[in-house]
Every structure is written in C-alpha cells, then in structure tokens.
Amino acid sequence: MTTTHAEPVHGGLPHEPEKATAEGRNKVLAFWLFLGGEAVLFGTLFATFLALRGQTNEGPSANELFHLPLVAAATFLLLVSSLTSVFAIQAMHRNRPKLLRNWLLVTVALGACFLGLEIYEFSEYVRHEEFGMTTSAFSSAFYTLVGFHGAHVAFGIVWISLLIGQLAYKGLTVVTAPKIYVSAMYWHFIDVVWVFIFTVVYLLGKVG
C-alpha cells in the first residue's frame, strides 16, 4: 500500500470513475435511495425484535443463549472487511485494478468467515439449545432479524465475487467502476446494520 498523495492518473480513466458517466452518477444516487428504503426494512425488523425480545415462551432467553466471544469475533471480521473495502475503493481511485482486486478478495474472504461463524452459531442454537424458528416469538424475531442480515452478507459475497470476475474480464472502466463503488456502499451499510445488531440484540440481550 503506497501512500503517495498526488499520484498521476493513468490510462485516461478519470479520478472518480464511478461518477464519470451520467449512468454511473444515477446508479450511485439511486443506490443511496435504496439504502434509505433498506434502513426502513431493518428498522421494522429491529422494531419487531424489540417488541418480542422478552417473549421467550419458556424457551431460552437472550441472556442464556448468547456467547459474547463468538459475537465479538464476528464483529471484528465485519469491521475489518468494511475497512478493506474502503481500501479497495481507494485503489480504484488510483486506477490500480490489481490492488483493487486484492482488497475485494480480502473483503469477500472476511465476509465469508463472518457468514461461517453465523451459520455455526445458528446450528449450535438449533442442535444444542433447542432454539429454533418455531420455539418462541423471541426466537422467530431473532432468526428473522439476524438471518435477514446474514442473507444480505451472503448476497454481498456473491455480488462482489462476480464483480471480481468482471474486473478480470472487462477491466476497470467507467462501466465497471460504478458497480464496484455501489457494492462497497452496500458492504458498508451491512456493517452499519451489524453495529446495531451486536449492540441491540447481543449486548443489550446480555444486559437484560
């Protein structure tokens, strides 16, 4: 990682290739709008979880269930992956496709580890704690909120992986750059949602 501050732009690609075309600018703007909608989507899921968090129906409660070390590990994986996707966009702005690809690969790998931890966590709950979707209103709300986030992570992993493929095939252009930029926005948003999940679901669940 170089820290040259005034690097010349190579190959005629503009400084912010994601905003070089009207299509690119439209895409970035519309993705912000979409994230506004996503905020409501997760807001409703959080609301549901908060309303039903105490309704354990004689099943396990949050305090009995959660293991903080696992959650802390998952949190740091996602936080680091958010940072690496920042590096990826910086590499893109410096027009360095190889570096960009590498940072995207790191991001995807960290995301996959996070998802692996989550699947492990869910399977532990189902197998050893008798805590499934149908156990209680709390369990339904927990699996739906955290599962929705997990599904977003899974979608992000597939999406960014495909973009890495496209990057190799098509190169870094004013067409591929907005796609990569938007996927990075999506990835940051997933991390932002996770900040609220680990705080509201896990930590406040432990506090009671």
Partner 1 sequence: MAAEQHTRDNGVKRRHRQEGPQKHVMIFVLSAVLTLIAFAAVAAGDVNPVFAVLLLLVMAVIQVFMQMGYWMHLKDKGHMLPIIFILGGFLIAGTCIIMALYWVWWD
Partner 2 sequence: MAQAAHTLKSPKPAAHGVKRYTGLMDWITTVDHKKIAILYLWAGGFFFGIGGIEALLIRWQLIKPMNDFVDAQTFNELITMHGTTMIFLGVMPIIFALMNAVIPLQIGARDVAFPFLNALGFWTFLFGGLLLNLSWLMGGAPDAGWTSYTPLSGAAYSGTHGVDFYTIGLQIAGLGTLIGGINFLATIITMRAPGMSFMRLPMFAWTTFITSAIILFAFPAITVGLVLLTFDRILGANFFVPGGGGSPVLWQHIFWIFGHPEVYILILPAFGMISEVIPTFARKRLFGYSSMVFATILIAFLGFMVWAHHMFTTGLGPVANALFAVSTMLIAVPTGIKIFNWLFTLWGGSVRFTTPNLFASGFIPTFTMGGVTGVMLASAPADFQFHDTYFVVAHFHYVIVGGLVLGLFAGLHYWWPKMFGRMLSETLGKWTFWTFIIGFHLTFFVQHFLGLMGMQRRVFTYLPNQHFDTLNLVSTIGAGLMGLGMLFFLANVWITSRRPPDAGSDPWEDGRTLEWSIPSPPPEYNFKQTPLVRGLDALWKEKAAGNKGMMPAEPIGRIHMPSATPLPFLMSAGIFIAGLGFMFSRDDFASRLVGFLFNNYIVTGLGLLIAFGAMLMRSLYDDHGWHIEPEELEGR
Q: Which does 96 bind (CB under 5 to 8 A by kind): partner 1, partner 2, none?
A: none
Binding mask 8-47 for partner 2 (x = CB under 8 A): --------------x--xx--xx--xx-xxx-xx-xxx-x
Q: Which amino acid is at 138?
A: F
- Give CA–CA dist 2/48, Å, rounded: 46
For position 99 contacting partner 1 by CB under 8 A, the verdict is: no
Q: Which stretch binds partner 2 (CB under 8 A): 5-13, 92-100, 121-129, 135-143?
A: 135-143
The interface mask with partner 2, positions 136-165, x = CB under 8 A, is: xxxxxx--x-----------------x---
Among partner 2, partner 1, none, what binds residue 141 when CB lies within 5 to 8 Å by partner kind?
partner 2
Give strand ranges (E) for 22-144. none
Is 15 or 127 the residue whose CB approaches partner 1 more closely? 15
Using CB under 8 A as the binding criterion, the count of chain residues that bind partner 1 stands at 59
Can you list the alpha helix ranges (DSSP code H) found in 94-136? 97-128
Tell whether residue 12 is a contact of partner 1 (CB under 8 A): yes
Q: Are 177 and 18 in contact (CB under 8 A)?
A: yes
Residue 113 binding: pick among partner 2, partner 1, none (C-beta 5-8 Å cut-off by kind): none
**Residue 46: φ, ψ to 5°:** -60, -45
Q: Which is nearer to partner 2, 107 or 140 (CB)?
A: 140
Residues 6 or more apart whose Cβ sits within 8 Å of residue 167: 97, 100, 101, 104, 176, 180
HSE toward the beta carbon, residue 34, CA cutoff 13 A:
11
Shortest Å, Cβ 31 to partner 2: 9
Query: Alpha-carbon distance 35 to 193, whole Å?
Result: 11
